[in-house]
Amino acid sequence: MQLPRPTHPKLRGPVKWTYYYLYVILDIFSRYVVGWMLAHRESAALAQRLIAESCRKQDIEPDELTLHADRGSSMRSKSVALLLADLGVTKTHSRPYVSNDNPYSESQFKTMKYCPQFPSRFGAIQDGRLFCCGFFDYYNYEHRHSGIGLMTPADVHYGRAEQLTTARRLILLDAHRAHPERFVRGTPQPPVLPPQAWINPPTEKTTLQDAAGATLSAWSIPGVPPFSASPNEISIDADVDRTDVTRLPTTLIEAH
């Protein structure tokens, strides 16, 4: 889900008008970056390679996955469409001129570009890849997201969320027992992991009532069927020189 502008974020090179294209594979439920790539150009062949390799490493079976992509030329190319058809992957695209159709990808790229170590320019593509290695390790294993209960993407991706929530609850309970006067609102509870991650949440437009008195609610987003990702669903964002994917049952993908 992203603006209808160049398909992948550009990292500035050493001189004016030089850019490197970043492709990222992102699990939208856990926010875990399962693969990324940095390339000299935007290319359907590179996107095809990344998607195929990711599906292979994730053991994706036909008809298990939906790939949600932006409207860039590489993601709309015939070669990528044929590859997805061969893999049994359903694809969807962001709506034209809609700025909020890739929120998870946009959030991830904003976190990267506001990182204090993010330079104004990279001296070479190798510098960009070195930076991305360190950043994505931090993003996956140290960065805590308010949207996933203040856990790291790796904790959610590898199924440690329930265990951590239980441990947090016990610690808070002990703290409350020791000093109940500090908790004016009662026993504190840890942040809860959402059961779903929506790309386009449904919007209630009208409420109708039939002759028998039953209430019917109409939900719609013009031109886009609502869908969501649960803990066994994934999202792809495209990148180029490293495909670091780990096993995760997958149903929903978002591609950048």
Per-residue pLDDT of the chain (256 residues; tens, 9 = 90+): 332 233 357 899 999 999 998 988 888 889 988 888 899 987 878 877 877 887 777 777 777 777 766 666 666 666 777 777 777 777 766 677 666 677 888 888 899 999 999 999 999 999 999 999 999 999 999 999 989 999 999 999 899 999 999 999 999 999 999 999 999 988 999 998 998 888 777 776 544 444 444 443 334 444 444 545 555 444 444 444 443 433 334 445 455 5
Q: How far apart are CA 122 and CA 102, in angstroms?
A: 26
| pLDDT confidence of residue 224 | 46
| pLDDT confidence of residue 98 | 67
| pLDDT confidence of residue 218 | 39
Q: What angle do CA 38, 41, 46 make, to 5 degrees?
A: 70
Q: How far apart are CA 179 and CA 187, in angstroms?
A: 11
Q: What angle do CA 136, 140, 146 make, to 5 degrees?
A: 120
137 neighbors 32 (Cβ within 8 angstroms)? no
Structure pTM? 0.71
Taking the chain, what is the end-to-end CA distance rounded to the nearest angstrom?
7
186 neighbors 141 (Cβ within 8 angstroms)? no
Q: How far apart are CA 132 and CA 129, in angstroms?
A: 5
| pLDDT confidence of residue 150 | 94
| pLDDT confidence of residue 196 | 87
Please give the domain boundaries of the chain with CATH numbers for all domains.
10-158+228-255 (3.30.420.10)
> Could you tell me the CA-to-CA distances from 252 to 38, 209, 234, 246 in Å, in that order?
23, 34, 5, 16
Q: Which residues of 85-115 are buried (b: 16+ CB within 10 A; e: fewer)?
A: eebebbbbbbbeebeebbbbbbebbebbeee
φ/ψ of 242, rounded to 5, equals: -145, 130
Q: Which residues of 38-63 are buried (b: 16+ CB within 10 A; e: fewer)?
A: bbeebbbebbbbbbbebbebbebeee
Q: Which residues of 171-186 are buried (b: 16+ CB within 10 A; e: fewer)?
A: eeeeeeeeeeeeeeee
| pLDDT confidence of residue 99 | 65
Tokens of 165: 């929530």
